[in-house]
Structure 1
Amino acid sequence: MTSQLDKTFDPAAIEAKWYSHWETNGLFRPERPDAEPFTLVNPPPNVTGSLHIGHALDNTLQDVVVRYERLRGKDALWVVGTDHAGIATQMVVERQLEERQDKRTNYSREEFVDKVWEWKAESGGQITRQLRRLGCSMDWSREQFTMDPHFTRAVTKVFVDLYNEGLIYRDKRLVNWDPKLKTAISDLEVETREIQGHFWHLKYPLASGDGHISVATTRPETMLADMAVAVHPSDERYAALVADGARVKLPITGREIPIVFDEHADPELGSGAVKITPGHDFNDFEVGKRVGFKPSEMLNMLDAEGKVTQTADGLIPENLVGLDRFEARERVVEMLAAQGLLEATEDRTIPTPFGDRGGVVIEPWLTDQWYVDAATLAQPPMQAVREGRIEIVPKSWEKTFFNWMENIQPWCVSRQLWWGHRIPAWYGTAIKVNADEDGSAHLEFTGRPKVFVAETEEQALALAQAYVDDLGRDTPLLAGRTAAVVTTEELDAEMDALCNAQEAAKSNLTIYNIYRDEDVLDTWFSSALWPFATLGWPEETSNQPPFASSEVEMRRTGVSTSLDTNGTGGSGSLVQRHYPNDLLISGFDILFFWDARMAMQGMHFMGEVPWRRLYLHGLVRAPDGQKMSKSKGNVVDPLGLIDKFGADALRFFMAAMESQGRDIKMDESRVEGYRNFATKLWNATRFCQANGIGASQSVAAPQATLAVNKWIVGEVVETLAELDKAMADLRFDAAAGAIYHFTWDRFCDWYLELIKGQIDAETKAVAGWVLDQILVMLHPFMPFITEELWHAQGARPYELIVAKWPQPEAKVDKAAKAEVDWLIELTSNLRAAKNELGIAPGAKLEAFIANPSDRARQGIAGNSAALERLARLSAVHAAPAPDGAALQVSAGGDLFVIPLEGVIDIDAEKARLSKALEASSKEAKALEGRLANPSFVERAKPEAVDKARADHAHHAAEVARLEAALARLG
């Protein structure tokens, strides 16, 4: 029994209702133990995030795919969760503290981390609620967080295993240092901005006193840590100086530095000489290594806040120490000018690196960090892409992928934060307990710290104990005794006891102090495990690893909830069933942040690709094509669009506009248009209800004898094939276009019009079945309205979200298709001709056809009622037309002549059309000339050029239309 629909379609009234229904009833992952698995993981949004237009695109495309595969009967698992977002989250919590005149350093590390967990419990779920509003059918019962205990175990294991394999190591290198956040950041988190600056030309006196070498720099303050001047080996101007071992005596510091050969120096640029500051420039760092400086010998002149600090040789004047780097720049320039060593200053636009989070200029800084041997891990993914085991769609992105992977640098994975996965490394330092003359003890630290990498502190202590036991047998350090291995927390109490015990102080005991690395891991390190750690790895059993429901409580108590790893997915572990994933959909902008790193970690630890296909979509841009940004004020809020037009309309816009390899221009009018499309379907369903057309009881197409019913069944068959092919090719625009045009054009505009007045039992059955197929095929794109209409049409054995994908079990009836298509073509052409000539749409006319084809005869005979009602032809005569003015229209090769005497004023109409043709021709020619002018195309604003092209296309089309209209009048 049908449920009568309201007259007006109101998206808000149905969206919350159906989403709650789906989620409450577990319909996002129905029980299908024997079904073929299909797996998709959502790029985990930052826990600090809120839904932006890029999320809306990304998640819409994923939901289209997962709903499509679910309807096809697969065990579709869409993994959902959020990323702990180390830098972003710590910034949010610190900002809240600042608002209360408080700061992080007022708390211990543990206390601050507790505050972050509390913030997450209260405010960290905003974006997941917003994803629900978009209609994302994710398996919320298994929602993940990258700081969940099971995930942390996976992260720790990966780090330890890579370390033991020699693929993670600690090294002193230059990093991108954010002086505001006081942490290293990735190359990918640096954005380059064009800043107005200067190029300073400096004189560096030769140490011999015989002249000078000129150098130029955009960062004169770094000369305080210069270690060499480089010239090209082919530059004859400096060959003798290098051969004689000549040195430069730096201004201000007085440091003497060598002149060296290196190909980094360009003899054609400026003086051909380049100052080398290996501790503060990435290129100079490589030059420094090539000419023999060890990283440990390279000079560092800045502290973590970007302030000048004394170099190891102590040559920086004390009045510069402590200055901010930009203050130091001004002072250094002033001092050089005062000494007559500033040759010139040029104004120049400087590409300058900024941190995308901290918002300050990034400083290359020499420091000890943890690195992953990315070059080694990159080899298997590259081979997988070459062999087709990973298909990148669009294929054009392969070149970019290989270019980056083949030139990949060591991946710095340590961050100087408190929030995140703490690096599982401990350092051991030997502390000698010596006796003073008064019998008390004092401590003496001996040797360099040694690192112990382990999954737990207990394991690290055991490694340290084994180390010192072995050390005690081979060195007098321990005087033949086993050292006491203690953690930093235990050290104070141990020392109190020893220092108060005279005998212990005389015992020459050595204590080995273990303390943990303070750093945390780069957020992308943990999210790289998303395709398999979310499935329970490394516990590859049928028992579920603990997933957190309340991270704060669980973290404090150690108690966690338990979910079945199998879910409803059959025997064996979830990771065995759902790894590799079938597909990853992501923006191209995180290809290297995340996608490539998942490929590296997945192939290394799972021995298989993380996903078989990688789909990279473009960006959603502002209507004028510019990138959206808050600073430009052109950001579009997807929730505002949902409030205005409904989630279905926004989703359909995203899918319909997603064309492989192209960005999407935001166009609110198109979103509104798809809201109108939903309204069209709503009203079509109301028409069906009013005519007794309800839910179909058949998956297969009903039997049809009438041509119009045979035709519409064939249209379903063709649309389904087109839609399936588009989805197989991940052509979202083509898939959306197929169902849109079938629904609007074929079903609503033609089929329902053709059957009006002749809706018999067969037609009711066919129409009900066709509407059902529309709802199923459209559901992945517009889930809310389709579910509402599905239920409104009558009782069903199942929800639409888990219905069966169309299986018409029918073929296209060619004869019926030809007949109905002929009728549609005739009606369409006649309507267009009447419109061109200003004839009222409802005006009934007579038509003549001198030599009708068999198709025309059959069409006229079998569709007389439709011809009169739709084409508004009162009669069609199989005879030549009478003499006089007439319009001509064709259909299927047949020419219909329609007399116009008494219908319109022929002369006046010709005059009107001629005048309009002249105007459009003139405008088209003017625009053509403007567009042919290179000066206009190259110098005008892009939006002005685009408008001129659009106007030219419009007027050219008008010329063609008007010429055709005049030709009709003879």
Structure 2
Amino acid sequence: MSDLESRTRFEPAEVEPRITKRWLESGLFSPEPEGTPDENYSIAIPPPNVTGALHMGHALNSTIQDTLIRLARMEGRRTKWILGTDHAGIATQKQVETLLGREGTSRQELGREAFVERVWEWREQYGSTIIEQLKRLGASCDYDGERFTLDEGYVEAVLKVFVALYDKGLIYRDNRIVNWDPGLRSAISDLEVDPREVTDTLYSIAYPLEGGGELVVATVRPETMLADTAVAVNPADERYRDVIGRTAILPIVGRRLPIIADEYVKTDFGTGVLKITPGHDPNDFEIGRAHGLDEITVIGENGRMNEEAGEDFAGLTVMEARDRVVSRLEAEGLIRAREEYVHEVPFSHRSGERVEPLVSLQWFMRMEPLAAPAIEAVRDGRVRFVPERWERVYLQWMSEIRPWCVSRQLWWGHQIPVWYRDDEVYCGLQEPPGEGWERDPDVLDTWFSSALWPFATLGWPQDTPQLRAFYPTDVLSTARDIIFLWVARMIMMGLEFREEIPFSRVYIHSVIQAPDGRRMSKSLGTGIDPLDVIDAHGADATRFGLLAMSSTQDVRYSAEKVEQGQRLANKLFNASRFMLLRVGDGVEPAPVAGAVEDRWILSRLQRAKRATREAIEAFEFHRAALGLYEFVFDELCDRYIELVKPRLDDDDVQATLLHVLTETLAMAHPIIPFVTEEIWALLPAGVQRPDLLAAAPYPAADDALLDPEAEEAVERQFEAVQAVRGWRQAVGVPPGPRLPARLDAAGYDDIAAGIALLARLELSADGGEAVATIPVPGGAVAVLRSDAVDLEAHSRRLAEQRTELQAEIRRAEGKLANQGFVGKAPAAVVQAERDKLERLRQELAEL
């Protein structure tokens, strides 16, 4: 207790590392794999990239998951928060290639084996950054069981899945259109595509018809017309019904193009005629496959025009080729119109170069057979999305699912387990016997291995105790941008390889934007580093702020919410210190329902415990955080502690204080774990409790302690206190002096003393002349004459304020009556003056 006497404030920088060390050394975060998934509770963390550092999205999602995990642990369930990192194929390879470039070498010079060794070295040096940062946030993950998607056991799981799907005919090799990144020289996923708004020219180009006439097509990419293999119109478009089945002649090239009918063509875009380029547009590719069209590619993997483009264009950049094509069309008199056109263009998030849709020989996965049971799992409620609206988004995408390109032209990752020898193809877990086999150089898309995360992290394909105890998991918390790339694929893979859903609830958390509403981004200068916030305000404040600002909608970052969290941590520490320094030796926590305020706080505590737990379980984290703040600040500190100060020598009061404190600490722990754990350690030695609050039971609401009558009485008491305080402020009476007063109201027998204490009154039955009457519930408080109340001075101040406001109003009215001002000043300035006049009039009316 002497240590507590010397500590006058909560110091997060000193407390947090010490508490983290205690948690980690306890082994509490690494449970033994016993029991069943129904008895236990588990969450698989969305694996951060091994290249990554904690950003605000990580901080929010990790706080959400930790709040759920800590609550489940305190409810007595064996709880595992599965931790690990993703090898992040493209991002990690790029990091190491950049490093090699600074050293004057390249991966090609090193060769594949040596390059992969260098990546492993890089991972050993930098790969744990985000893990250490999660500890700073207070994330209670299973750090002892940390996994990596290139662990030996994880690699076994990935290769087994590939081979099984290949043998089932769901994985195959084909020439299909992909997102091609010319900078990386690899196919990339949709998540690595960054759409940017670009202003281009929309060209209307005449395609001559065989036998006479022409069709005019509209395109922003005239360079790709060199790969056209058809022209399409909508079958319902009356303008072009007669040309369906005829032949158009491709300008510049002279290729004969069939004119086909397809409902995809929009009649209200451009001319209603679409050039079909299966080799360079995803939608055209599908149309081409449906109509059996050739697939010509004129842009190479390096982003330049290739031999198929013809000798006049081969070797040119895309933009150079565009200019040359337009010049040729102008020379032939085939451009019918030009107009400015704003649209989104795909760029690579990794290399920064424009993404080219290219037909490429890749490995694909057929998704429809896997998607069907995953759709049913959501429709029948086995998997539920929160908020529910994301179910519709999921189901819509799944119903339109396309083949998934699973191969990447990288060296870092899970190399595809396929070998070639002449015309032979072998797929298996081990290299085939015999000479002359060459392994496919490509690796799998990172999302392929991530799709196995909930069960591969637990030891699958082996039948491990971890897998039996913790799969399926309970909740997945993630952002909306990976519902398709990750969430849907985990559901599909879980059902395919475990015949069970991987989780029963999917919580889609909000995206935290910059304070000005833009997305948080280092490149835009709008990013906020959560570690800077932790350094400035503490982890508890950061966690509270993130939860308080979260919702089902995107939200702007609020520094005020973080500061609110810091105030909560400080208030709880200072209030606890005040209570603990006054509790006598041998006092045990006990809910002694004595005076009305004791019954009131015990009743309010039950409601707070129930509301906090229900809000967390319903994923309404803002309600849990802000409700906790209100209970600690308004009810425990500003009301109850103030009310019982005259009774602090009473053992029953001390027992009740200690009971309310311990229950409040346990209730608050999932949200603000550091300050609550620190105070828990400062409880009197004689108090029976677990050594760590993180291992203590979450307090259950006790309906026997609910007391609506006490709640109503104290609520009435505080309405009276607020009324008196408001009157004192309005008439300029300082808060310190105790004013003589008479309580002319019924129903205050048990609470009058509390009103006198908190409103600074000396109550008496009569006591003299009343100089003011303050309405309160059930009557009034009559303030008696005293030197502390000078109503004449108050009247003089009001008169002065009225005079000043009237003068301001006259000036504003004169300004607005001046037609020269109204006619010449900007409209915003005039409106501001009108708003000011309205505000002044309102202030005068209130006086």
State the TM-score, normalizing by the size of structure 1.
0.79
Q: Residues 631-780 of structure 1: matches in 2 within 5 Å?
A: 631-659=523-551, 661-692=552-583, 697-698=588-589, 701-759=590-648, 760-780=650-670
Contact kept? 1:695, 1:793, Cα under 8 Å: no
Structure 1 residues 737 and 227, CA gap change in structure 2 (3 angstroms): same
**Cα offsets for 1:455-502 (capped at 9, x unmatched):** 2214xx4xxxxxxxxxxxxxxxxxxxxxxx42x3xxxxxxxxxxxxxx
1:582 Cα deviation after fit: 0.9
* Sequence identity (%): 42
Query: 2:17 maps to which residue?
Result: 16
Structure 1 residues 919 and 64, CA gap change in structure 2 (3 angstroms): farther
Query: 1:175 maps to which residue?
Result: 178
Q: Distance in 1 between matches of 2:311 and 2:448?
A: 41
1:270 Cα deviation after fit: 4.2
Q: Residues 607-618 of structure 1: matches in 2 within 5 Å?
A: 607-618=499-510
Q: Secondary structure at the match of 1:806?
A: coil
**Cα offsets for 1:709-746 (capped at 9, x unmatched):** 23222222121111122122121111112221111111
Query: 2:235 maps to which residue?
Result: 233
1:896 Cα deviation after fit: 2.5
**291, 296, 300: which is aligned to 2:297?**
300
Structure 1 residues 815 and 234, CA gap change in structure 2 (3 angstroms): closer
Q: Distance in 2 between matches of 1:621 and 1:260?
A: 46
Contact kept? 1:390, 1:611, Cα under 8 Å: yes
Contact kept? 1:921, 1:959, Cα under 8 Å: no
1:534 maps onto 2:450 in alignment: no
Query: 2:339 maps to which residue?
Result: 346
**Cα offsets for 1:17-44 (capped at 9, x unmatched):** 1112211221223569569311011100
1:310 Cα deviation after fit: 1.8
Q: Distance in 1 between matches of 2:480 and 2:519?
A: 14
Structure 1 residues 537 and 204, CA gap change in structure 2 (3 angstroms): same
Structure 1 residues 7 and 916, CA gap change in structure 2 (3 angstroms): farther
Contact kept? 1:178, 1:362, Cα under 8 Å: yes
**Cα offsets for 1:688-712 (capped at 9, x unmatched):** 23323689745xx443433332322
1:428 Cα deviation after fit: 3.4
State the TM-score, normalizing by the size of structure 2.
0.91
Query: 1:220 maps to which residue?
Result: 222
Q: Residues 188-337 of structure 1: matches in 2 within 5 Å?
A: 188-207=191-210, 210-235=212-237, 238=240, 241-242=243-244, 245-248=246-249, 250-293=250-293, 297-311=294-308, 316-337=309-330
User: For this pair of structures, how many residues does the alignment match?
Assistant: 819
Structure 1 residues 962 and 695, CA gap change in structure 2 (3 angstroms): farther
1:125 Cα deviation after fit: 1.1
Structure 1 residues 753 and 427, CA gap change in structure 2 (3 angstroms): same
Q: Secondary structure at the match of 1:21?
A: helix
Q: Residues 547-946 of structure 1: matches in 2 within 5 Å?
A: 573-659=465-551, 661-692=552-583, 697-698=588-589, 701-759=590-648, 760-795=650-685, 796-807=689-700, 809=702, 810-850=704-744, 852-853=745-746, 855-860=747-752, 863=753, 866-877=754-765, 885-891=771-777, 893-899=778-784, 902-905=789-792, 907-911=795-799
**One-letter amino acid of the structure 2 residue matched with residue 320 of structure 1:** F
Structure 1 residues 690 and 363, CA gap change in structure 2 (3 angstroms): same
Contact kept? 2:35, 2:469, Cα under 8 Å: no
**151, 157, 162: which is aligned to 1:154?**
157
Query: 2:448 maps to which residue?
Result: 525
More moved, 17-26 vs 834-843:
834-843
Contact kept? 1:923, 1:955, Cα under 8 Å: no
Structure 1 residues 232 and 911, CA gap change in structure 2 (3 angstroms): same
Contact kept? 2:186, 2:409, Cα under 8 Å: yes
Q: Secondary structure at the match of 2:748?
A: helix
More moved, 210-219 vs 262-271:
262-271
Structure 1 residues 955 and 20, CA gap change in structure 2 (3 angstroms): farther
Q: Distance in 1 between matches of 2:168 and 2:31?
A: 41
1:919 Cα deviation after fit: 10
Query: 1:70 maps to which residue?
Result: 73
**One-letter amino acid of the structure 2 residue matched with residue 535 of structure 1:** L
Q: Structure 1: where are the runs of 5+ without partners?
A: 430-448, 462-484, 489-513, 542-572, 926-938
**Cα offsets for 1:844-885 (capped at 9, x unmatched):** 2233344x32x213333xx2xx44332211114379x95x75
**Cα offsets for 1:311-336 (capped at 9, x unmatched):** 2xxxx432321222222112222222
Q: Distance in 2 between matches of 1:658 and 1:304?
A: 43
**Cα offsets for 1:60-113 (capped at 9, x unmatched):** 111111111111111110001100111111111111111122111112211111
Query: 1:558 maps to which residue?
Result: none
1:169 Cα deviation after fit: 2.1
Contact kept? 1:887, 1:900, Cα under 8 Å: no
**One-letter amino acid of the structure 2 residue matched with residue 17 of structure 1:** R
Structure 1 residues 207 and 815, CA gap change in structure 2 (3 angstroms): closer
Contact kept? 1:29, 1:75, Cα under 8 Å: no
Contact kept? 2:587, 2:651, Cα under 8 Å: no
Query: 1:60 maps to which residue?
Result: 63
Q: Distance in 1 between matches of 2:74 and 2:390?
A: 30
Q: Which has the larger radius of gyration?
A: 1
Contact kept? 2:771, 2:782, Cα under 8 Å: no
Q: Secondary structure at the match of 1:611?
A: coil
Q: Structure 2: where are the runs of 5+ without partners?
A: 814-826
Structure 1 residues 318 and 242, CA gap change in structure 2 (3 angstroms): same
**Cα offsets for 1:132-181 (capped at 9, x unmatched):** 11111111000010111111111111111122222222222111111111
Contact kept? 1:201, 1:217, Cα under 8 Å: yes
Moved over 6 A (4+): 915-925
